[in-house]
Structure 1
Amino acid sequence: MDLYGDALNILKETSRTFYIPIIQLPLGLQEAVASAYLCLRAIDEIEDHSELDNLTKAKLLRTISLILQAGGDGFAVDAFYKGLNSHEHILPEVSLRIREWAILAPASIAPRIWDATAAMADRMAYWAETNWKIHTESDLDRYTFGVAGAVGLMLSDLWAWYDGTQTNRIHAIGFGRGLQAVNIIRNHSEDMARGVDFFPEAWSAEDMHNYARRNLELADAYTSALPDGPALDFCQIPLTLAYGTLDALANGKDKLSRSDVIALIEQLTKMSR
């Protein structure tokens, strides 16, 4: 199977939420966004790995960052091997194959994806070393920017690269932050079980819901300003699912069911026709 076909299979296995909008993108942009998603998922799996201690996570993440920063025309076949081989028995496939995801994007935009992934890996390393201690709302803002708001900025650069679409970059940060805040709420019990609490001190679930909705309002402004086209089509699906997840959690559900997801996407598809 060709690299992109293989990448789509890994993408489908790791996130159906993003698989759906990515495969609907036009070719060229599709490879770029898939490359970005898989590179970021590769480092995210290291940050969240249950069998790695925090210092090891930080070391692996910084190693990946340094390798990405050395990229020029691409990467040697074994470029990431020395940095990851000592843990290849426990790291997931999406992390071990980061070199392949890094070279998947068109050459004219690939360095922007390497830069974003390298920067995020360094930020994740910092948070791993501090055991993700979130004391204040400012700490939460820093964390959600580092692992998601910056993704919104990168997506804005991808839209501009593909067809010149210009976006409000503050709203782009809110788009990423809002999605990440919903993930934090959804995964709160699991995170607490592993000793990590992303809620600022004295914050209730209601406070975090309000934080998520404030940022999703910026995400609404972001998508409302996008012209009809691939950027809007891509952003509407995760944003719709984020709102659906918040509503489900507020009604006592653990998450959206598979049937809920299908219904929301079908409703969105009908509205966009």
Structure 2
Amino acid sequence: MNLQKEALKTLKETSRTFYIPICRLPNGLQEAVTSAYLCMRAIDEIEDHPDLDNNIKGKILREISLILQSGHENITREEMTEAVKSYEHLLPEVSYRFGEWALLAPPTIAPRIWDATAAMADRMAYWAENNWKIKTKSHLDQYTFSVAGAVGLLLSDLWGWYDNTQTNREEAIGFGRGLQAVNILRNHQEDKIRGVSFFPEGWQLEDMHKYARYNLSLGDSYTKSLPKGPALQFCQIPLTLAHATLEVLILGKPKLTRNDVMTLVAQVCG
């Protein structure tokens, strides 16, 4: 099995939601987006790991960042995975194979993907080491940019790299922030159990819903600006699911059912 097939297999195991639109992307763009998604998912799993001390998380994430920053065209898989070697027995496959996912990126866009992953790993390390203390809306904006808004910018760069599609950067950031805000709402009770809250001081559920709706509206504008094609469909799927999730949360349900998800994805994909 070649690396792209292994990457898609891992993608399917970690996120069926993104597996569907990524599989529909054309060659070249598919490898780039797969690489970017799995690299981001790899470090996200480290940030969210339930059994790792926050300082250990910070150490691993910063080492990953440094490796990606020193990356060059002749870097090996072994060099790429050095940062996680000691923790391989604790980490999920998507995380301890992050070096392979990084090397999957086409050479002409790989430096941008590595740069974005390195920057995000550093930011995640900061938030883990500070136990995700969100006291103000500015802190919330900083966090949602760190882990999601920056992904919106990376996607815009990938669309531009592939077919010169131009997008609004602020709307791209809002696209990512909106998705993350919905995740915060969906996981709010679980986060409270582990002693973490992404709600600024004094905020209630209604405030976070308002924050999510505003950023999702930017995401709507972002997707409407995309021409018909793979990028549009790729972005429509998570955005549609985010809007629907927000609605079921308002009704007091914990999340969309798998049936709901597959129905909505089928509607977007036609």
TM tier relative to shorter chain: over 0.9
Aligned-pair CA distance for 1:75: 2.2
Amino acid at match of 1:157: D
Give the aligned CA root-mean-square deviation in angstroms. Answer: 0.9
> How many percent identity over aligned positions?
69
> Normalised by the size of structure 1, how large is the TM-score?
0.97
Aligned-pair CA distance for 1:264: 1.1
Match of residue 169 from structure 2: 169
Aligned-pair CA distance for 1:80: 3.5
Aligned-pair CA distance for 1:74: 4.4
Whether 1:47 and 2:47 are equivalent positions in the alignment is yes
Query: More deviation in 140-149 or 221-230?
Result: 221-230
Match of residue 9 from structure 1: 9
Give the conservation status (yes or no) of the 8 Å contact 2:77–2:103.
Answer: no
Amino acid at match of 1:122: D
Give the conservation status (yes or no) of the 8 Å contact 1:65–1:122.
Answer: yes
| Distance of aligned partners of 1:74 and 1:18 in 2 relative to their CA distance in 1, 3 Å threshold | farther
Match of residue 220 from structure 2: 220
| Distance of aligned partners of 1:127 and 1:74 in 2 relative to their CA distance in 1, 3 Å threshold | farther
> CA deviation digits over 1:200-229, x for unaligned, max 9?
111111110110000000001101111111
Unmatched 5+ residue regions in structure 2?
none
The CA distance in 2 between the partners of 1:25 and 1:145, in whole Å, is 26
Amino acid at match of 2:126: Y
Give the conservation status (yes or no) of the 8 Å contact 2:81–2:98.
Answer: no
The CA distance in 1 between the partners of 2:74 and 2:144, in whole Å, is 29
Give the conservation status (yes or no) of the 8 Å contact 1:182–1:212.
Answer: yes
Aligned-pair CA distance for 1:129: 0.9
Give the conservation status (yes or no) of the 8 Å contact 1:74–1:103.
Answer: no
Unmatched 5+ residue regions in structure 1?
none
The CA distance in 2 between the partners of 1:134 and 1:30, in whole Å, is 35
The CA distance in 2 between the partners of 1:169 and 1:77, in whole Å, is 33
Partner of 2:79, secondary structure, is: coil
| Distance of aligned partners of 1:74 and 1:137 in 2 relative to their CA distance in 1, 3 Å threshold | farther
Partner of 1:128, secondary structure, is: helix
Query: More deviation in 210-219 or 82-91?
Result: 82-91
Amino acid at match of 1:231: A
The CA distance in 2 between the partners of 1:190 and 1:105, in whole Å, is 34
The CA distance in 2 between the partners of 1:159 and 1:81, in whole Å, is 28
